[in-house]
Chains A and B, each alone.
Chain A
């Protein structure tokens, strides 16, 4: 069973993600901002990280940079799930080490399909 770390400061977004992911066999760890996600990531090795961008304390791109510096998270897929859609920010995300970018609102089936694809990639094994 794959474990996904979801990071979003919106409780409703975290609930909806948990609903979709647990209903489809994933184990979910939830964090409400980048700082909390970073702490959880140090003690729980997730198979994939799904993070928002705009959050208090530590934003999504900051989290990606911090995660990529951890030994266990060099190749773990990290997907952005955000309302942000500017090319400039996407480029920053890519340079920080994001695996992909999804713009909110998410469609549950498209999200699951994307996660399945990403988790099937050799680097995610």
Chain B
């Protein structure tokens, strides 16, 4: 910072560069999670016809230990997709916040009283991120595919 009131031009340039790089990384992470979700969906879309064929071959219902395990494991896509969707929502909000920062850090005539403006933006971003934590309840309470609890009210 050049003084206690405004950041220097060089500081703004450095911050702008940093935020640009952060933005790029967040975008990449969002895209890669999207690709992972697509791969998982493709995998389950290929597995389910095999599952249906198995079902068609049964003359009587068969439920042996191998099939029970298969049933649990085949639920992987539903469970992991919810976690990945939440991660994408978080990254989408980060992208929004970073984009606002990028505009604010753009060196030029619009940069008036930059320190105050940046402080406001940072405060707003922190509030927005906190709101996201409140609105996004954790969708999956476990990190494995062991079968879940059952409870009658």
Contact = CB atoms under 8 A, between A and B. Distances in A.
Interface of A: 8, 10-13, 15-16, 19-20, 23-24, 54, 83-86, 89-90, 93-94, 98-111, 114, 117-118
Nearest to B83: A83
A99 B152 contact: yes
Contact of A54 (B51, B139, B152): B139
A109 B68 contact: yes
Contacts of A118: 152
B147 A83 contact: no
Contact of A108 (B63, B79, B138, B142): B63
**Interface SS of B by simple majority:** mixed
Interface residues of B, number: 37
A105 B137 contact: no
B150 interface: yes
Contacts of A89: 137
B97 to A, nearest CB: 25
B138 A12 contact: no
A90 B77 CA distance: 23
A19 B111 CA distance: 63
B58 interface: yes
A23 B63 CA distance: 10
A94 B152 CA distance: 10
B71 A12 contact: no
B151 A101 contact: yes
B151 A105 contact: no
Contacts of A16: 51, 71, 74-75
A100 to B, nearest CB: 4
Given A12-B44, A20-B71, A108-B71, A100 B79 contact: no
B78 interface: yes
Given A24-B61, A83-B139, A107-B68, A10 B153 contact: no
B82 A83 contact: yes
A78 to B, nearest CB: 10
B51 to A, nearest CB: 7
A16 B141 CA distance: 21
Nearest to A53: B139
Contacts of A8: 78
A117 B152 CA distance: 10
Contacts of B152: 99-100, 114, 117-118
A38 to B, nearest CB: 21
Interface string B43-87: 010011001100100100101000110011111111101100000
